[in-house]
Chains A and B, each alone.
Chain A
């Protein structure tokens, strides 16, 4: 078994992982065992700067966070594709295939960049009050003309812009 290269390189990693787990477990257990306990009602309520908590924390939050997670997967997959290519690029050049390797990957990066340009123009990367997507701009126009005669607050325009995505 020790001659097996795979076991030889990954067994220490497993051992390290288990020891780290034991360490984390021991820390939690020790603190639970010897820490003193004197719970009161105020201590046991969710922290809200000393006020009585209002409502539940299971509230809705911005859809932006889901969007970032999806975009992350797209671009991380791109990075995963780039890694093996980066490793063999010098070998390809040595074999006289350098330009082939380069052009193949540049076509791929080009396609990814088109998608990147699209999400940028759509405003998926905007978190503030800037409005760049046409849809959001339309909603803003509607808010401006169809709303009350008063000019809406800049914040309200921003909120409308966010919802238009």
Chain B
């Protein structure tokens, strides 16, 4: 493949992935409204299209036509840059996520992934942790008290839980021995005891790591029960109080895109990625891994919504104590035990 073809293929793949991601974001919002609605004995969106399925499109158009307010008291460059940063970092980390195995038509062969970087996990962690800039800058540049408090809370919370999140993955790295996300999935192939899949969640006490990762990820994405940054009863809307129209929607897009990245990463690191039964003709065998992967991601997104419909919000001191005094020592203990087991096991 020469460089021109390579670039064209990359652009096509990227455009496709961005399109799918944004559609997924829109329909995750729909799913959330629908599921939470049913959990609260309501119907959720029903008016636009069958089962309200066109609601995301209607919302998108409405966001475009709403008044795009830029109040005079804000610091304009950062006020405009903040939602853009949030969206850019949220959708960029998907670039190194593998969605499935290889795809080949005739001579042409490409992985279901934009790029297989050999430090894939580090790239995801690095880019998602840049997302805190969008939140912190929007809170500061809005020059409003609620925004400032929300931005401060959000940045403190996100950096606190990032430590537990980062340390919880060390156990997986010890077992897999690679940063490449594709390599981590390949390390989970096969079964033990004849029937249990070799997923990391079942191995070497990584269930604890899975719990820490999921909890910390909920806090990273500012979701209930950790949605302190936008606690509407105290802070109106937190860091995006002063935003309207599409800029407001962009923070939402970033939040849901981050949720999807977390769901992808959890499936890849703990649940064996795209592994699943393969059967049928060769084209079906190529596409089935995508289906198994998307089913796992959907499962995680559903749990996100389920948790939102079930749990109340933490208090701020409880939130900080939980992150620093419980999850952090637990993550360190987990990695110490995993290292001991790996080295001492004959």
CB within 8 Å of B: which residues of A?
1-2, 8-13, 15-17, 19-21, 23-25, 27-28, 30-32, 34-39, 43-49, 53, 56-59, 61, 64-65, 68-69, 71-72, 75-76, 78-79, 82-83, 86-91, 93, 98-99, 101-102, 105-106, 109, 113, 116, 120, 125-130
Contact = CB atoms under 8 A, between A and B. Distances in A.
Main secondary structure of the interface of B (DSSP, over half): helix
B145 interface: yes
Given A46-B145, A61-B148, A76-B162, A125 B324 contact: yes
Given A24-B87, A30-B64, A45-B71, A90 B342 contact: yes
Given A82-B167, A93-B342, 20 more contacts: A1-B3, A13-B92, A17-B92, A44-B69, A46-B73, A46-B145, A57-B145, A61-B149, A65-B152, A72-B160, A72-B162, A83-B122, A86-B171, A87-B179, A90-B174, A101-B343, A116-B328, A125-B325, A126-B317, A127-B321
Contacts of A53: 144-145
B48 interface: no
Nearest to A83: B173
B336 to A, nearest CB: 7
B152 A72 contact: no
B14 A126 contact: no
B160 A68 contact: yes
Nearest to A36: B67
B6 interface: yes
Contacts of B174: 86, 89-90
B178 A35 contact: no
A87 B179 CA distance: 8
A83 B125 CA distance: 12
Contacts, number: 225
A86 B118 CA distance: 15
Interface in B62-77: 63-69, 71-73
Contacts of A34: 64-65
Interface in B219-276: 236, 241-242, 245-247, 249-250
B25 to A, nearest CB: 12
Given A8-B6, A43-B69, A82-B335, A28 B83 contact: yes
